[in-house]
Amino acid sequence: MTVNGFLQIVFYFVVLLLLVKPLGHYMAAVYENKACGLDRLLSPIEKSLYKLCNIKPEHEMTWREYAAAVLIFNFAGFIFLYALLLVQGSLPFNPRQLPSLAPLLAFNVAVSFVTNTNWQSYSGEMTMSYLSQMAGLTVQNFLSAATGMAVLVALIRGLKRRLADKIGNFWIDTVRSILYILLPISIILSLLLVSQGVVQSFSPSVKVNFLESTQDRSGKVIREQVIPLGPAASQIAIKQLGTNGGGFFNTNSAHPLENPTSVSNFLELLAILLIPASLCYTFGKMAGNTRQGWVLLVTMFMILIPLMTACIWNEQGGNPYLSKLGVDQSAGDLQPGGNMEGKEMRFGIVNSVLWATLTTAASSGSVNAMHDSFTALGGLFPLWLMQLGEIIFGGVGSGLYGMIVFALIAVFISGLMVGRTPEYLGKKIGAFEIQMGSLIILIPAAVVLFGTALAVVTETGLAGIQNTGPHGFTEILYAFSSAGNNNGSAFAGLDANTAFYNWMLGLAMIIGRFGVIIPVLAIAGSLARKKTIPSGPGTLPTHTLLFAVLLAGVILLVGALAFLPSLSLGPIVEFMAIPK
């Protein structure tokens, strides 16, 4: 790694950490219905929305009612988006006259954006009209992110309350998440991105003449290029902030109109972790002990930094196949060095790897480089970060509630070691919480492994891969890891716009999202009914560095046990097969 690359990483994390406390404090105030600075401006709008939708702010829900509201709300969003995509060709704001989507592709896209996955087996600028991008995809970027944040807040209330059967109101939590948090920050980020050249326009595509004509593969002379436009900045802002990841253009944030400058690259990178990291402080603030939140944040960094460093090391070391061809991959004044295949000269190794590891640690899925072109071990680390459960920051809300569940399991394991009843934030962790926690861990893993196994033993599954051997297996494993953990990034090299993958990945996204949310809410309801027990001499402190180490160990152990065999068949075998 060059000194310049090291300084870029340090600068990124310093800025991120400086923003964690103020934003986390603000979000805690929003969810606790305290003064947050935007009350006078937004409170009338909030009250009008409640009146319009017949929402009673004083009415709270049991965990079952909360779960039912989550399912109904997201099902309605799916139906609306699915219908919109099926009739896109007959609707306005479609300057390129793009046709409606096929039913199976529309199903996959609708599921993808409703579940905060944003898996894309299509080219955005060649498939989606402006109306579909704005009223369909962008809207779901807000709603799916707000759903994850609402479920997190419900879990925090379950930990905080005692002898209660209510965990809040889903409709209130969702409205406040969008109105006070996601929307204001998205507006600011959109304006900053537009200032850097990210396109925001309703104009149709434009044609630009080449200075020199060229030829396509068939020998046809090409004298012009079509440059797509559209309302991109508004979607890109929430795709990053909401850890959605779905790009307006096919190449996502590697596209020069979606990510034109080093400043826009930094802003979009910062947006990936901004809310997930800040929610750790929000959790500590709402729980009454900010050290609890800092411990979870430290745990995330304890896992992210080593895996990111290992990925940079492998990519900066170069591609051994290119070395055999005599390609110079050393860093110098004229080149960044390392494995530059699939990466842009604008960003180089460090920014590409930083983005790849952050987007798979968080449940984002946006990319500024092609992960399929990473080295064998370089591609392993983004893949493994997803397989850990998207909890190392994870999606907005969803990552942190997954991390809290791992914390419950960690205190349970420690309790078994010393023969004491495990406790977390004064709540005894019993059999029900561990059963639900086990489901939360096992369901995504089962979805990923079963889907991958089915794909590699069926003709329809194998028909989509463009590479044979371990690399082709990794492409399939990556796709199901991305879908089952609601990430959305792709390894490329896999034709996923087929009946098999549209169905299977769609089901994986549904189960991976709601198969986790429902047990989380069940845990919230169970904990809310329990009384708070004062800590004693035998209570395991969960606000110390020792607990952070224990928690990180549990996460890595579970991740290794679940996926090490499959990783051995993919990237590890590919690495071992490289000619020395």
Please give the pLDDT value at position 45.
95
Quote the crossing angle between the two packed helices 545-567 and 398-418, to the nearest 10°: 110
Q: Mean pLDDT across the stretch 379-395?
A: 92
* Partners of 208 in beta bridges: 225
H helices of 133-256, in order, are: 139-160, 170-176, 183-195, 233-241
Mind listing the pLDDT tens digit for each residue in 416-451? 887 777 899 999 999 999 999 999 999 999 999 999
Average per-residue pLDDT for the chain: 92
Percent with pLDDT over 90 in the chain: 75
Hey, what are 557's tokens? 């152990």
User: 312 or 326, which is more confident?
Assistant: 312
Quick one: how far is CA 479 from the chain centroid? 14
Q: Residue 86: pLDDT above 90?
A: yes
Q: Mean pLDDT across the stretch 151-173?
A: 95
Q: Residue 390: name the closest of 454, 455, 481 by CA.
A: 481
Cβ-contact 182, 241 below 8 angstroms: yes
pLDDT band at 97 (very low <50, low <70, confident <90, very high): very high
Exposure class string for 536-568: b at 16+ Cβ within 10 A, else e = eeebbebbeeebbebbbebbbebbeebbeebbe
Cβ-contact 116, 243 below 8 angstroms: yes
Quick one: how far is CA 176 from the chain centroid? 21
CA atoms of 403 and 516, how far apart (whole Å): 12
pLDDT band at 533 (very low <50, low <70, confident <90, very high): confident
Please give the pLDDT value at position 326.
79
pLDDT band at 322 (very low <50, low <70, confident <90, very high): confident
Residues, the chain, total? 580
Q: Residue 358: name the closest of 5, 12, 2 by CA.
A: 12
- Please calculate the CA angle 209-347-381 and round it to the nearest 5 degrees: 125
pLDDT band at 537 (very low <50, low <70, confident <90, very high): confident
Instruction: Please compute Rg for the chain using Cα positions.
Output: 23
HSE-CB of 276 using CA atoms within 13 angstroms: 37
Please give the pLDDT value at position 287.
92
Q: Residue 211: pLDDT above 90?
A: no
Q: Mean pLDDT across the stretch 18-47?
A: 94
Cβ-contact 404, 389 below 8 angstroms: no
pLDDT band at 580 (very low <50, low <70, confident <90, very high): low
Percent with pLDDT over 70 in the chain: 100
Going through 190-265 in order, the beta strands assigned E by DSSP cover 206-215, 221-227
For residue 203, which amino acid is it?
A: S
Place of tokens 């369909």: 136
Cβ-contact 358, 270 below 8 angstroms: no
Helix (H, G, I), strand (E, B) or coil at 383: helix
Q: Mean pLDDT across the stretch 185-205?
A: 95
User: 540 or 383, which is more confident?
Assistant: 383
Q: Mean pLDDT across the stretch 245-251?
A: 90
CA atoms of 164 and 560, how far apart (whole Å): 38
Q: Mean pLDDT across the stretch 337-353?
A: 86
Please give the pLDDT value at position 513.
96
* Total H helices, total E strands in the chain: 22, 4
Burial (CB count within 10 angstroms: exposed 0-12, middle 13-18, buried 19+), residue 520 = buried
Task: From residue 129, give the alpha-carbon distance in Å to each of 95, 133, 233.
Answer: 8, 6, 15
Please give the pLDDT value at position 231.
95
Mind listing the pLDDT tens digit for each residue in 268-314? 999 999 999 999 999 999 999 999 999 999 999 999 999 999 999 99
Going through 383-503 in order, the beta strands assigned E by DSSP cover 423-424, 427-428
Helix (H, G, I), strand (E, B) or coil at 163: coil
Cβ-contact 259, 271 below 8 angstroms: no
Task: From residue 385, give the alpha-carbon distance in Å to each of 43, 235, 363, 422, 472.
Answer: 39, 25, 10, 28, 19
Exposure class string for 390-407: b at 16+ Cβ within 10 A, else e = bbbbbbbbbbbbbbbbbb
Place of tokens 């898996």: 119
The residue ranges of every structural domain in the chain are 3-213+221-576
pLDDT band at 145 (very low <50, low <70, confident <90, very high): very high
